[in-house]
A = this chain, B = another copy of it.
């Protein structure tokens, strides 16, 4: 027999049994109206629908799927912060495409902050919501890692040096150094930095690279978001406070574009008066002519998809041999018209 549910005070969501009772019909009938069968009397249907409305009934998806017995398609959840438009696209488009190819569903979580991330992970674990996890620009603590391991949910990280899980990274500290050194090689005496939200590890690391070569005393300001406007405002602040600045390292291309506009609007020339360099090499940076440190963003999503697919035993035969391991991709100095070249080229 059914209905041993001791739902104190209606605290649990209603089921078709509740609807059936309230409408004075059997559960099969409820199921029928739920699935739009035409073998139901109009009066009955109306009554059932009313009951559903009264109780704010929502069919349980898991139960439905279990009953219909569809394919148990694997599902991976991807958690990503929406810092940067082009970074998000560059990663998620290939990720989505490659997972589609592997016949894996993708559930996307737009993560706001650390708390949000943990709430989402708690739910995912508690509800067994997915078979695999992709983390973009964020990691998890060892306890969480152990928990995921316990329930058998593999994890890969992109743009974050997670220990204990496959991770794809670039050397952002080195990137920061290379960028700064490039401007100094071009003759910069007084370099400054525009950095981004400190919750992003990549920004903190590029910052670290800058400081390592420019010195801790070099001027720097932090933008809350990585947009053109923020870059422009940050540049204005910097230029106001330190008129002698002759080089600007920006931890992101959008910030650099904003800085470029601000510098020019003040009648100063780039790169003659002020050199400028960004990070990422986002689309269109070549037509704008921004010097930048390129990171192969396009490869991030594909790597994540292939790795998690392999971990789920869904890898292609072709790649089946490959082991899933952490990888560090090379960055590349791209010199264009916002910086002065002087000999060496790439890293």
Q: Which of B105, B127, B257 touches A70 (beta carbons < 8 Å)?
A: B127
Nearest chain B CB to A336 CB, angstrom units:
14
Contact present for B74 and A85 (CB under 8 Å): no
Nearest chain B CB to A98 CB, angstrom units:
9
Q: Which of A58, A62, A86 has the most CB of B within 10 A?
A: A62
Contact present for B65 and A127 (CB under 8 Å): yes
With a cutoff of 8 Å between Cβ atoms, the chain B residues found around residue A106 in the complex are 107-110
Q: Which of B100, B128, B150, B313 touches A68 (beta carbons < 8 Å)?
A: B128
Contact present for B127 and A68 (CB under 8 Å): yes
A93 touching B82 in the complex, CB below 8 Å, given contacts A62-B72, A72-B60: yes
Nearest chain B CB to A117 CB, angstrom units:
12
Q: Is A240 an interface residue (CB 8 A)?
A: no
Interface residues on A, range: 35 or more
With a cutoff of 8 Å between Cβ atoms, the chain B residues found around residue A25 in the complex are none
A97 touching B126 in the complex, CB below 8 Å, given contacts A61-B131, A65-B62, A149-B36: no
Contact present for B72 and A96 (CB under 8 Å): no
Q: Which one of A162-170, A204-212, A280-288 contacts B?
A: A280-288
Contact present for B109 and A107 (CB under 8 Å): no
Nearest residue in B to A99 (C-beta to C-beta)?
Answer: B110
Mark each residue of chain A from 82 to 120: 1 if its CB lies under 8 Å from any CB of chain B, else 0: 100110111011001100100001111110100000000
Give 7 A-B pairs besides A85-B90, A96-B108 with Cβ atoms closer than 8 angstroms: A36-B150, A58-B74, A61-B128, A61-B130, A62-B65, A62-B72, A228-B287
A-side residues, CB < 8 A to B, are: 13, 34-36, 56, 58-66, 68, 70-75, 82, 85-86, 88-90, 92-93, 96-97, 100, 105-110, 112, 123, 126-131, 149-152, 228, 257, 261, 283-284, 287-288, 313
